[in-house]
Amino acid sequence: MKALSRLNSMLETLGSRHRRRVLTPRHGLDFASNDYLGLAGSPLLQDAAQQALERSVPLGSGGSRLLRGNHPEHEALEEEAAAFFGAEGALFMGGGFQANQAIFSTLPAAGDLILYDDLVHASAHEGMRHSRADTRAFAHNDVADARRVLSDWLAGGGTGQIWIAVESIYSMEGDVAPLATLSDLAVEHEAVLVVDEAHATGVFGPNGKGLAHGLKAEVLTLHTCGKGLGVSGGLICGSQVMIEALINRARPFIFATAPSPLNAALVRAVLALLQSDTGLTDAANARMHHAHAEARRNGVPQGVLNSQIIPVILGDEARTMRMAATLQAQGFDVRGIRPPTVPRGTSRLRVSVTGNVSEADITALFETLAQHQSEAA
C-alpha cells in the first residue's frame, strides 16, 4: 500500500538523521519531566484523590462541558483559580496545548495582529494557524524588535486589536521573558498580553502564581496543571468577557469531552496548598539555585541560568543523543532534544530540575556530565 510505504520511508529518513522519536520507559533519576514540585506521585495528591472519591467525585465527565459534562468541581476550580491568579474569570480545559489552540484560534479577529515571540510553543502556532488575524514574529525576548515589527504593521495600515504572545519561561531555553517591558508596550498600544505560564506556575511568583501576576497590561494567562501542579489540564485566566467568548466560540472547548472532575478536585487541592504554604515553591527554588551553582562549578556548557530548565547545548544531533544515552546508563534520566523542536545546530540536553531529585543527585549529575563531555565529542 502506497500510504504505508510512504510512512515507512519517512520513518527511515528520520532515523538516518537521528530524529526518529521513540517511547521509552521511565528509568533513573528524574531530570526529564516537568514535575517541578514533585507532586505527581505525592501523598498530597493521593490523599486528595481519596477524599474526592469518598465524596463521590466521578472519574469521568461523560461529555463536553456544554452537554452534561459540566460538574461542580469544574466550577469550583475555576472560581478558586481566578481568585488565586488574580483574574476575573478562569476556564478549565483538558490541557495546555488545547487551551492555547482555543485562545489563538478564537479571540483574535480578522484585522487584528498577533505579535508573537519567535520561540513560542507549538500549541500557540497551531492556534494561530486557524486564526483569521495577521501574525508576525519578533526576535526572541527582544522588545525593541517587537516594537519595530509592530510599528511596521501600523505603518502598513493595521488598525485592529493587538495581541502580544509570549511565554514567561521558555520550555527549551529556560530563559525568562522581559514581561515588565512587554507590559509597558502592551499598555502603550492597548494590546492584550497573552502569557503562557506553563513552566512558571507553582515555581515563580508569589505562592507560585507565575511571573505575569500583577502586570499593568490587560493580561490573559495560561497555567498548565500537568507540570508544576502535578496533575493535568490547563487553566485560562483573564477578563470574564474573554472567558465567556471562549465558552461560546472556542471549538477546542465546545467539541471536547470535559476534563475529569477528579482532576479538577486535585488541582483545587494543590492551589489551596500553594496559597497557604510556600514550602514547595521555596524548595523548588533552592534546588534550582543549587543546580545553577553546580553547572558553573563543573564547567558544563549551558545557555542562560534563569530557571529550573537548564539547556546543555551540544549542537550536533548524534553527539547529543550519545550523551543522553550515556547519562541514562549512569542512572540519570536526561533526554536529548533535536530539531525541529529546537533550531538546527542547537541540539541539547534539557536538564529539568524536578521535585523528585535531591541536591546530592543534582551534584552527581553535573559531575557526571563534566566527566563525559569529552567522550561524546
What residues are labeled active site?
34, 121, 167, 171, 196, 199, 227
At residue 130, φ and ψ (nearest 5 deg) are -100, 5
Residue type, 103: I
Cell reading at 16: 538516518
174 three-class SS: coil
Residue 22 CB: number of other CB atoms within 10 A?
Answer: 5
As a whole number of angstroms, the distance between CA 29 and CA 264 comes to: 29
Classify residue 61 by its DSSP letter. -
Cell reading at 343: 533550531
Classify residue 207 by its DSSP letter. G
Cell reading at 264: 479538577
Q: Output the CA–CA distances (angstroms, integers) from residue 292 to 289, 296, 301, 324, in the order listed.
A: 5, 6, 12, 19
Determine contact, residues 81/235, Cβ cutoff 8 Å. yes
Cell reading at 140: 526572541
